[in-house]
Amino acid sequence: MYEKLGKAAQYIQSVKITKPKIGIVLGSGLGVFIEQIEDKTIIAYNDIPFFKKTTVEGHEGRLILGKVKGVEVAVLQGRLHAYEGLPMEEVVFPVRLLAILGVSKLILTNAAGGINLNYRPGNLVIIKDHINFMGKNPLIGPNNNEMGPRFPDMTHAYNPEMNSIMKEVSNELGYSIHEGVYAGVLGPTYETPSEIKMLRILGGDMVGMSTVPEAIAAKHLGLKVCGISCITNMGAGIIDQTLKHEDIKHEAMKAMNHFTALLNNSIEKFGKI
């Protein structure tokens, strides 16, 4: 795996010599953030050795290198999901690659369904913790001790300092923001109403099909991780609705001003810690 990562990193350095500080993974419908990046170098996933192509509509599949508020960033637009049938090792390959490129902090973003009854579509939620309901883990198998420990600590999987910066930035911008627990499920079906009830009882505030494997792999590598969920719909059974991927992408657009400003200003501050 290290060899493949090295080759992928070598290819990227051959396109542009880069040492990004902050990595960002953009979730469904959150690609508008790309407009904020200056000095862009865009590399299609297809061109990166050993990189798997995403099969999901609305997930673009490009790595964007550039700067946000003067801070060097590497942005993954479009992610890989376990429900696409990929082994977890492939799902987290892009995040590991960012770490090899030099990223020390990672911002994971996603579209999620609201479980907490105080949430509304268009709300942003800082991920304070997650529950892995995927029944899988990217660290299963022999441990690569060079990457990280066999049994990584997950007490502060989502970095408290980064979280308080995001909260402060959001307040300064005049937007309220929630903090919640992300329940990561495998998908690709959306949940049943009973599953949403179960997830609420077990402590989930929002639900989605990504982020958890990436957070685990990043934490294993010693990165500082934070996450933002954009609530695009209420979980099944909470209100009378049917869930469509198209609608979910559309709802994500409504939060774009808050999302973009939050990311911009947080990146500036993350560049200093």
Cα dihedral 98→83→47→219 (10° resolution) = 10
Please state, in angstroms and rounded to a whole number, the distance separating the CA atoms of residues 196 and 184.
12
Q: Which of 12, 30, 75, 207 binds ligand HPA (CB under 6 A)?
A: 207
Binding segment for ligand HPA (CB under 6 A), chosen from 90-98, 105-113, 147-155, 255-263, is 105-113
Please state, in angstroms and rounded to a whole number, the distance separating the CA atoms of residues 221 and 161.
18
Neighbouring C-alpha atoms within 13 Å toward the C-beta of 126 = 26
Please state, in angstroms and rounded to a whole number, the distance separating the CA atoms of residues 201 and 203.
6
Shortest reach from residue 187's CB to ligand HPA, in Å: 6
Task: Say how many residues touch ligand HPA, by CB under 6 A.
Answer: 13
Shortest reach from residue 91's CB to ligand HPA, in Å: 15
Please state, in angstroms and rounded to a whole number, the distance separating the CA atoms of residues 112 and 110.
6
Q: Which is nearer to ligand HPA, 20 or 113 (CB)?
A: 113
What residues contact 98, with CB distance under 8 A and at least 6 apart?
20, 23, 74, 76, 106
Q: Which residue is nearest to ligand HPA (CB)?
A: 113
Shortest reach from residue 132's CB to ligand HPA, in Å: 14
84 is catalytic: yes
118 is catalytic: no
28 is catalytic: yes
Shortest reach from residue 230's CB to ligand HPA, in Å: 9
14 is catalytic: no
Binding characters for ligand HPA, 151-180, by CB under 6 A (x = yes): ------------------------------
Q: Which is nearer to ligand HPA, 229 or 265 (CB)?
A: 229
**DSSP character for 152?**
-
Strands 62-68 and 224-234 come out as unpaired
Residues marked active site are found at: 28, 59, 81, 83-84, 111, 209-210, 233, 245
